[in-house]
Structure 1
Amino acid sequence: MTRIKVALVHFCFEDYTIELANSLYELVDLTLIQPQKVAAYCRSSLDPRIRVIEFEKPRIRDPRNFAAMSALMRILRELQPDVLHVQETNDPWYDLTLFFNRMPPLVTTIHDVFRHPGDRQNIFGADYTKRIAFHRSDRAIVHAQALKQTLTQHFRVPLERVCVLPHGELGSLYRRRSTAATVEREPQTLLFFGRIWPYKGLKYLIAALPLIAAKFPAVKLIIAGKGENFEQYFPDGVDRHQIEIIDDFIPPERVAALFERSTIAVLPYIESSQSGVATLAYGMGTLVVASAIGGLTELIESGQDGLLVPPGNVEALAAAIIRLLSDRQLQQQLQAAAFKRCQQDLNWTNIATQTVEIYHQAIADKYG
């Protein structure tokens, strides 16, 4: 049986794309198309058998993007794929290219329907032009039923075009990338990881820390990632014995060690569509305490493989962390359930298999 030809295009969401591509390769005739600026990040983690085409993609305000999009269309015309699968770009140049060109059956993975509050990295105009991708896609993939509801109700995307697939686990990827020896887990260390913007709710975790320390004086918090100015969180200075700050982009080879050190990854978000941080923690055996908001409420089964608390509730956040630190049996129960999820619905082979089914649906819709 001839395998369908798939062109998988991404401009960002590199980790997701790497793991999806590695599993799709076994199921379809796959070509990965990516900008040169992300190629180095992806190259060492991709299956070397995957056919990769790179093209030059200037910064978003550079008019040479006209040429970049022309190059992308030229690549697609030469490949003539049965399906084009694009990871959400947040790039108006691509969206306008969709508007002015005829495309093969198009599947778009939409990681964030709306931009996150306070995220200054949002691209000007993308909130408007991304609607083109919503409506030109023969199938859209989202990571939560809540996002499907938003697409169908707010943007009037037909219900039958929107498919829900979970965000796959990322622990396996970062274990492969790690260059360090296995790190011993620190029993009272908490981790806040990733881009630091207002919607991540770091201030609530910092406010909860004294409540946790009253029960566990040796508790330690690692804050790792780039974003806002940290001084606003610590007007009286930082207690370096209790808080470790890594105000920088964390190289991929160092990420696994941070999760291995930490007993709990804390996600005190006040807004969320989905979370690669949570699925990374699951795959690393790191417990998760998160806000009951957005896609997190569908990803995390509270009391089964993690704990959920009301967003912005400092007391509830502290109580959940104290509960976990106090109960080794509960820790083991949640870890076992999280690992099981990584072998089931969060497993990339399973996600790739379902993605191929969506490709066939898109082809059927396009050519009827």
Structure 2
Amino acid sequence: MRVLMLAQFYPPVIGGEERHVFSLSEALVARGHQVAVATMPHPDRAPVEYLNGVTVHSLQGSMQRASALFSEEERPHVPPFPDPELTFRLSRLVSKFKPDVVHGHNWMIHQYLPLKLANKAKLVSTLHDYSFTCSIKTLLHNGDYCSGPGVAKCLSCAGAHFGPVKGQITAAAHFVTKPLLHRGVDNFIAVSHAVAEKSGLVDGSTPYSVIPTFIPDDLGSPPASIDPRLRQLPPDGYLLFVGDLNRHKGVHILLQAYARLEQAPPLVLIGRRTPGTPDELPPNVFLFESWPHHAVMHAWRRCLFGLAPSTFIEPCGTIVMEANVVGKTMIAANHGGLAELVEHGRSGLHVVPGDVDSLAETMRMLIDSPDLRRRLEEGALARAESFKARSVVPKIETIYGSPNKVRQPGGGAARVAHVSHQS
């Protein structure tokens, strides 16, 4: 098949979503498909590059020319509505590549919707977060759980998050284009049952599947070279957090819980600094910013266990897969995609989200119980097999190759294929 990926960002810009698109594209090429990626330009990438069998096309849009709209130069997000210039450039690529499947990831799919009627390609959309329901993608309102979308509430929330003008345009466009997505997409893929439920797919009319993200088959193999950054790590046996260093990821809860522990191993934080990153750290805490992935994987190998105390409902949790594939167990918040990936008592332990006492007590127990750690590590390593590309990519191929299902009128329940790592 000829598969066209639509992704806002692609390496060298990297994050959980970007790594998934990168890994999926390369895995599909390895399985004999032709894959092209349409993405935003990057100063370190040519307009067209051929990377490991994947042709990457950098397409310029009008919105991206207004650099003042974006807080990060490397992440000029596409809007939740068609950008005329970007859609035009995408149409030229579609005409040339002639895809059998167009696979959209987040808001980049809006740039293709005006082209859908003129093309016979099947349109698949992976929801990596809550952007189908929430214009700020987190399901948080005033720092707390949101009860659901509402015009006035969403306009206010997006305005506070993005700024008054940009936020209100984003939220308004989000309400207008959501029905168009429902009609245009042939199959949704949600990265967790939490995302499927919170995005309204469960009661919708569009067929969907739940397929979490995955890791490359060889990710568990030690990298050939040793990154010099690793010399900064404390001795092996530290506790490890990997992710954006903000309150949503529970960093403030983690630091409070760690400060209560006596004679605990060092705590290592690796991630991207954000406006919510703490300025002061407790003793014996090490913070390293934005390490390359191969260095992070080395860090996983050398830790005692990992920590994912997210206070918001995490959509998935690739860090769980990365820890498990090298035989490390995780302590994770008991909600969202994290709870679905971590089997409590078998591959890791759950804690109450946002509860400092729960996290501190569980950390203390796992530090002091080597037998429990070994048992959970065995379960984590066994579970990692279901996270690998060879287990997951065939499920996505099945969606690509299946005929478009007839939707039930009146918004009735769609025929759904629930697929998880347990299956």
TM-score (norm 1): 0.81
**1:318-360 Cα distance to aligned partner (Å, 9 max, x none):** 12112211222222222222222222x2121221101111112
Local SS of the residue matching 1:168: coil
Measured after TM superposition, the shift of residue 153 of structure 1 is: 5.8
Mapped pair 1:147 → 2:195: yes
For residues 57 and 365 of structure 1, what CA distance do their matches in structure 2 show? 35
Identity percentage of aligned residues: 19
Contact 1:170 1:276 in 2 (8 A): no
Letter of the 1:270 partner, please give it. Answer: T
Mapped pair 1:158 → 2:199: no
For residues 344 and 100 of structure 2, what CA distance do their matches in structure 1 show? 41
Local SS of the residue matching 2:65: coil
For residues 171 and 326 of structure 1, what CA distance do their matches in structure 2 show? 33
For residues 176 and 9 of structure 1, what CA distance do their matches in structure 2 show? 31
Residue 95 (structure 1) aligns with? 110
Matches within 5 A, 1:238-257: 238-239=281-282, 241-246=283-288, 248-257=289-298
Match of 1:228 among 263, 269, 274: 274
Mapped pair 1:341 → 2:359: no
For residues 297 and 128 of structure 1, what CA distance do their matches in structure 2 show? 30
Measured after TM superposition, the shift of residue 147 of structure 1 is: 2.0
Residue 355 (structure 1) aligns with? 396
For residues 323 and 358 of structure 1, what CA distance do their matches in structure 2 show? 43
Residue 325 (structure 2) aligns with? 283
Residue 69 (structure 2) aligns with? none
Residue 201 (structure 1) aligns with? 250
For residues 62 and 128 of structure 1, what CA distance do their matches in structure 2 show? 25
Mapped pair 1:268 → 2:268: no
Letter of the 1:260 partner, please give it. Answer: R
| More divergent stretch after superposition (262-271 vs 116-125) | 116-125
Letter of the 1:67 partner, please give it. Answer: E
TM-score (norm 2): 0.71
For residues 397 and 238 of structure 2, what CA distance do their matches in structure 1 show? 40
Measured after TM superposition, the shift of residue 187 of structure 1 is: 5.5
Letter of the 1:107 partner, please give it. Answer: V
Residue 421 (structure 2) aligns with? none
Letter of the 2:336 partner, please give it. Answer: G
* Unaligned segments of structure 1, at least 5 residues: none
Q: Higher helix share goes to which structure?
A: 1
**1:35-77 Cα distance to aligned partner (Å, 9 max, x none):** 3646968xxxx972x2414123358453795333212121112
With a CA cutoff of 8 Å and minimum separation of 6, indicate the structure with the bigger relative contact order: 1
Mapped pair 1:306 → 2:323: no
Local SS of the residue matching 1:152: coil
Letter of the 2:396 partner, please give it. Answer: T
Query: Structure 1 residues 66, 177: CA separation in 2 closer, same or farther (over 3 Å shift)?
Result: farther
Letter of the 1:142 partner, please give it. Answer: A
Letter of the 1:35 partner, please give it. Answer: T
